[in-house]
Structure 1
Amino acid sequence: MSEESGFDPDLVTGGYYVTPQRFAQLIGLTDRQAIVQRWIDQGAIPTRCIGDQLLVDLGALLLMTQPDQA
């Protein structure tokens, strides 16, 4: 049996992305998604386009909030 790799629970090295809607849910702003969209538009939340989908980059966000870890 071969061991699968690719999943890394570390947000920084794992490359984890969520939709802006899911990000809003995670931070408790489900009913205020316009706020999250404004943050994205202002560049306050790091995003990445994968295909035609705009996603929030959780690893980059974590690095932004903990600059001493970079």
Structure 2
Amino acid sequence: MLHLDFSNGEINIYTCSVNILKAEVNQYYDWSDDVLNENWNPKKAKQSIDKIPDEMICDVILNQNIFSGEGIV
């Protein structure tokens, strides 16, 4: 569980993965996967989807490796 405590409340996340980054975030994070970022690349997402043709769409949409920033996996 991840617990974040703030002066005006708290957030508890019961299913999560936490990584401590030892360098600049841009060395780890591909912004072209993040649907909420201006650098999101829909063509790259389509290529990733094409590699898993038998996957259910509900699982594809929640896949953070294809649509980062969308849903929970």
Give the alignment's TM-score, normalised by structure 2: 0.28
TM-score (norm 1): 0.29
* Structure having the larger proportion of residues in helix: 1
Q: Which has the larger radius of gyration?
A: 2
Q: Report 1 or 2 for greater relative contact order, CA contacts < 8 Å, sequence distance ≥ 6.
A: 1
